[in-house]
Amino acid sequence: MPLKLRGKKKAKSKETAGLVEGEPTGAGGGSLSASRAPARRLVFHAQLAHGSATGRVEGFSSIQELYAQIAGAFEISPSEILYCTLNTPKIDMERLLGGQLGLEDFIFAHVKGIEKEVNVYKSEDSLGLTITDNGVGYAFIKPSETKAKAIEKIDDVLELYMGIRDIDLATTMFEAGKDKVNPDEFAVALDETLGDFAFPDEFVFDVWGVIGDAKRRGL
């Protein structure tokens, strides 16, 4: 998939406008535009969404080439990249990299985690999933906005209480509590799944509040 660049339109100064519109010639009669310096190569900055140093990517013209550049910068395989978001490391589908990239956009690459096998229980007549493509032929289930924002808030609570940001841990906590009916059941589920962390009661109640809000919004 080719990428298009979008940039800010800047007003021309009088000097610049004169050069472009009048195309004055140099002493030898040639156009000044012919002697202008070549366009500067665009450089973008990228990080892995779960945390990494900042890498530089440049010289790409498609999403495939961009993924290859990111993979090379962080010494991973391009197939490990699920998708990229712009200007946020969070799972925000409104910031999903599509066919356009702004000149000042910061790229965050979301990579595959540990492979898990899950069983899905369907209690309703229909099951709805949104499946999208990452631009290089890999399909993934697009998270619902409600779920994604709830996981982001749990990640914020993690940082507030524990001083860490871990989107995978936040997702695990959300999954542990989404089918529970009260905070006591949620606390038991956390102990069974993440007992080594010994989360304080205040933290558990705040996370349960986030999950409860998401459920009320029709998760």
Report the pLDDT averaged over residues 94-113. Answer: 86
Contact 86, 102 (CB under 8 A): yes
Specify the higher pLDDT residue, 156 or 143: 156
Give the pLDDT confidence of 178-189 residue by residue, as tens digits.
Answer: 889 899 999 999
Nearest to 50 by CA among 126, 210, 164: 164
- Please give the CATH topology (third level) of the domain spanning 43-111: Ubiquitin-like (UB roll) (3.10.20)
Is a pLDDT exceeding 50 seen at residue 23? no
Report the pLDDT averaged over residues 18-46. Answer: 55
Q: What is the pLDDT of residue 18?
A: 29
Is a pLDDT exceeding 70 seen at residue 87? yes
pTM of the model: 0.52
Give the pLDDT confidence of 41-79 residue by residue, as tens digits.
Answer: 788 999 999 889 999 999 888 888 999 999 999 999 998
Is a pLDDT exceeding 60 seen at residue 19? no
Is a pLDDT exceeding 80 seen at residue 145? no
Report the pLDDT averaged over residues 127-132. Answer: 69
Q: How far apart are CA 209 and CA 194, in angstroms?
A: 18
Q: What is the pLDDT of residue 126?
A: 63
Q: What is the pLDDT of residue 144?
A: 66
Report the pLDDT averaged over residues 17-40. Answer: 46
Query: Where exactly are the structural domains of the chain?
Result: 43-111, 144-216
H, E, C per residue of the chain: CECEEECCCCCCCHHHHHHHHHCCECCCCCEHHHHCCCCCCCEEEEEECCCCCCEEEECCCEHHHHHHHHHHHHCCCHHHEEEEEECCCCCCHHHECCCEEECCCCEEEEECCCCCCCCCCCCCCCCCCCEEECCCCCEEECCCHHHHHHHHHHHHHHHHHHCCCCHHHHHHHHHHHCCCCCHHHHHHHHHHHHHHHCCCHHHHHHHHHHHHHHHHCCC
